[in-house]
């Protein structure tokens, strides 16, 4: 019997770690995974960007002239939400082929899948190009763990291709849109609500900005796979009390970009449209990821995944963004594929679950991809 847990058992173990972000206490989860990998011969480095906010990079293999195959996944999860859960949110509910828990699909099952595949092949990988596993903290709030690692390129090393274990139901995705999140801030002058002429209403300025944002034209053609960029106004805050003229208002803007768009250019174009009365402050800025489906390695992924899925994959992309957008700043020009066992439509949902069969299938896919790359 293997000394390591199988992927479903490991998923359950990972779900038991409360890594809800915020606050995102990932260290215990990272240390547990690191101990498993170290016991199999992996060299493990930890990277904490804040107390208890710990990522890790684990590698096995030797220099052969061919870089290792990379895998990445995050350990943090989103909050449980306002709706009550009917199932245990921390991994004890395994019913009818479904494993419930916050992060079961997004994306602790994906982490478990590629970790188990790497553990199973560890002995043979020692004398091969090997694999590098990048397990991050703070993905859900803007890829903070990956950004910290990207500033420490010596920890990340190099990879020849990168697999992202985010939820795709094991279907290979060739990329995802980028994200440019900003706060549009307006400033006014407060006054008594009975004398509004003595003030300068920040909400009025923000409301005018909303109208401009609703009709903002990016001035680009649609991407053949990802379509057009989008802009969503997600939040609007202003004023302190009803009987005062508000002197501050803030609009939360969520822009999803397509390959080839320059985020600095978007900010400049948006700033010009909104005018001097609005200050734009970026909060998340990650580029789109796209690998040509005709790339030789992507075709290999399609072939391997297709054997297990029972269908020939077609080019698809994810609607969400991933840590790959940040890691790509270090792993430049490598092909990237998003492929994981979680169900995309269940991410962030109440009573989130993953399918046991999908988790086991992901191990088989990851194992085949590691073998074809390194062995």
Asked if residue 211 and residue 153 are part of one domain, the reply reads no
Is 57 a member of any domain?
Answer: yes
Is 2 a member of any domain?
Answer: no
Percentage of the chain lying above the pLDDT 70 cut = 99
Burial call 146-169: b when 16+ CB within 10 Å, e when fewer: bbbbbeeeebbbebbbbbbbbbbb
Strand 278-286 relative to strand 178-187: parallel, antiparallel, unpaired? Answer: antiparallel
Q: What is the pLDDT of residues 231-274, one digit of tens each?
A: 999 999 999 999 999 999 999 999 999 999 999 999 999 999 99
Asked if residue 18 and residue 120 are part of one domain, the reply reads yes
Is 311 a member of any domain?
Answer: yes
User: Average per-residue pLDDT in the chain?
Assistant: 97
For the chain, what is the domain count?
A: 2
Q: What is the pLDDT of residue 3?
A: 79
Asked if residue 170 and residue 78 are part of one domain, the reply reads yes
Residue 348 pLDDT > 90: yes
Q: What is the pLDDT of residue 1?
A: 38
Mean pLDDT calculated for residue range 359-363: 98
| CATH code for the domain of 255 | 3.30.70.360
Mean pLDDT calculated for residue range 123-142: 97
Asked if residue 202 and residue 160 are part of one domain, the reply reads no
Longest dimension (CA), the chain: 79
Asked if residue 144 and residue 224 are part of one domain, the reply reads no
Burial class (CB in 10 A: 0-12, 13-18, 19+), 192: exposed
| CATH code for the domain of 43 | 3.40.630.10
Please state the φ and ψ torsions of residue 374, each to the nearest 5 degrees: -115, -20
Give the separation between CA 291 and CA 223, rounded to whole angstroms: 13
Is 1 a member of any domain?
Answer: no
pLDDT band at 289 (very low <50, low <70, confident <90, very high): very high
Domain that holds residue 352: 7-176+288-374
Q: What residues have CB less than 8 Å from 3, skipping those under 6 apart?
A: 39
Q: What is the pLDDT of residue 269?
A: 97
Asked if residue 295 and residue 172 are part of one domain, the reply reads yes
Q: What is the pLDDT of residues 97-132, one digit of tens each?
A: 999 999 999 999 999 999 999 999 999 999 999 999
Mean pLDDT calculated for residue range 359-366: 98
Is 228 a member of any domain?
Answer: yes
Q: What is the pLDDT of residue 2?
A: 58
Give the separation between CA 11 and CA 91, rounded to whole angstroms: 8
Q: What residues have CB less than 8 Å from 165, skipping those under 6 apart?
A: 71, 72, 73, 107, 110, 111, 113, 114, 339, 340, 341, 362
Give the separation between CA 103 and CA 74, rounded to whole angstroms: 10
Mean pLDDT calculated for residue range 338-345: 97
Give the separation between CA 230 and CA 257, rounded to whole angstroms: 7
- Does this model's pTM top 0.85? My answer is yes
Asked if residue 273 and residue 310 are part of one domain, the reply reads no
Q: What angle do helix axes 109-125 and 7-16 make, rounded to 10 degrees?
A: 130
């Amino acid at each position: 019997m293997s000394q390591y847990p199988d992927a479903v058992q490991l998923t359950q173990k990972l779900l038991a770690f409360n890594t809800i972000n915020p606050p995102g206490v990932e260290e215990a989860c990272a240390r547990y995974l690191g101990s498993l990998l170290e016991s199999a011969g992996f060299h493990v480095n930890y990277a904490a960007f804040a107390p208890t906010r710990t990522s890790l990079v684990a590698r096995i293999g030797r220099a052969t002239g061919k870089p290792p195959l990379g895998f990445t996944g995050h350990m943090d999860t989103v909050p449980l939400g306002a709706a009550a859960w009917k199932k245990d949110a921390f991994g004890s509910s395994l019913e009818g082929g479904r494993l419930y828990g916050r992060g079961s699909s997004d994306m602790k099952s994906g982490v478990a899948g590629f970790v188990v595949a790497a553990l199973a092949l560890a002995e043979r990988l020692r004398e091969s190009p090997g694999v590098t596993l990048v397990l991050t903290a703070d993905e859900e709030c803007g890829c903070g763990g990956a950004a910290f690692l990207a500033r420490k390129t010596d920890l990340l090393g190099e990879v020849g291709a990168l697999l992202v274990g985010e939820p795709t139901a094991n279907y290979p995705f060739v990329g995802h849109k980028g994200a440019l999140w900003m706060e549009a801030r307006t400033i006014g002058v407060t006054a008594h609500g009975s004398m509004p002429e003595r003030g300068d209403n920040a909400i009025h300025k923000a409301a005018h900005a909303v109208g401009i944002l609703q009709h903002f034209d990016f001035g680009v053609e649609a991407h053949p796979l990802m379509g057009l960029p989008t802009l969503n106004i997600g939040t609007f805050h202003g004023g302190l009390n009803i009987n005062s003229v508000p002197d501050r208002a803030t609009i939360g803007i969520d822009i999803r970009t397509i390959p080839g768009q320059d985020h600095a250019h978007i900010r400049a174009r948006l700033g010009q449209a909104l005018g001097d009365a609005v200050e734009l402050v970026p909060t998340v800025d990650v580029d789109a990821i796209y690998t040509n489906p005709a790339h030789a390695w992507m075709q290999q992924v399609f072939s391997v995944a297709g054997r297990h899925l029972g269908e020939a994959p077609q080019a698809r992309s994810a609607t969400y963004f991933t840590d790959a957008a940040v890691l790509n700043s270090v792993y430049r020009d490598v092909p990237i594929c998003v492929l994981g066992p979680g169900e995309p439509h269940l991410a962030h949902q109440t009573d989130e679950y993953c399918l046991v069969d999908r988790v086991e299938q992901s191990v088989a896919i990851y194992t085949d991809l590691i073998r074809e790359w390194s062995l």
